[in-house]
Amino acid sequence: MSSPKIQKLVLLLSKLPGLGPRQATRLAYHILDQNRDFAAELAKNIVKLREIKRCSRCFQAHEERPEICSICSSASRDQNKLMVVEKDMDLETIEKTGVYNGTYFVLGGLMSPLREDSQRRIRLKELVGRVSSGNAISEIVLATSSTAEGDMTSRYIEKILEPHMAAKKIKLTRLGRGLSTGVELEYSDLETFKNAYLNRK
């Protein structure tokens, strides 16, 4: 019904996470209704993403230097601590808390029981390489979400890193489980209460 150009854009926008066809249509028409500078600016900045590199050590998106990101090259960060996260968004959320002062490793996804290619899709080989290489790591924190996929991924990483841990005396930890802020006990699930009880202190 609508113009083929709108239809094509709607199709592309619908591939983005959280955008159904209706919301995609709304966005397409909204971009159309702005003055042309907006569309040009938006397109230009999407193209510019190609200039973003991934750090060769932690694989986070960055554009500061050719190879190593500012966290991996910072003298004020604890280079002996390595936190394994799923994606850039997680790293960004964690940095905002200001609680963690070590380095990161961005997996680029989680393993999934539904996808056979899970192990190739995420940077497991690179993680093993990083850990087994010469760098002095004292602790690895597995900071995946407490979902089925997050747990599956952490368990798998524990298994493949195991041969390297003992030899190098690396401590492997996972984020603590328990009551999240704001949880009412009455609504907590078995697993959460169990963890909260076992991790009481």
Minimum Å distance from CB 60 to its own copies?
Answer: 9
Q: Give the containing element (helix H, strand E) for 194.
A: helix 190-198
Per-residue contact flags (x/-) with its own copies for residues 65 to 104, judged by CB under 8 A: --------------------xxxxxx-xxxxxx-xx----
Position 125 contacts its own copies (CB under 8 A) = no
Contact 60, 90 (CB under 8 A): no
Contact 68, 126 (CB under 8 A): no
**Closer CB to its own copies, 135 or 180, in the complex:** 180
Tell me which stretch binds its own copies (CB under 8 A): 22-30, 113-121, 122-130, 156-164.
Answer: 22-30
Position 145 contacts its own copies (CB under 8 A) = yes
Residue from 57, 59, 62, 122 touching its own copies (CB under 8 A): that is 62
> What residues from 159 to 178 belong to the interface with its own copies (CB under 8 A)?
173-178
Residue from 14, 132, 138, 146 touching its own copies (CB under 8 A): that is 146
Tokens 């997050």 belong to residue:
150
Of 82, 50, 79, the closest CA to residue 63 belongs to 50
C-alpha torsion angle, residues 115, 120, 122, 124 (rounded to 10):
130
Per-residue contact flags (x/-) with its own copies for residues 27 to 56, judged by CB under 8 A: xxxxxxx--x-xxxxxxxxxxxxxxx----
Minimum Å distance from CB 15 to its own copies?
Answer: 8
Tell me which stretch binds its own copies (CB under 8 A): 25-33, 115-123, 126-134, 160-168.
Answer: 25-33
Q: How far apart are CA 79 and CA 102, in angstroms?
A: 6
Contact 53, 66 (CB under 8 A): yes
Minimum Å distance from CB 191 to its own copies?
Answer: 4
DSSP conformation letters of 45-66:
HHHGGGG-EE-TTT--EE-SSS
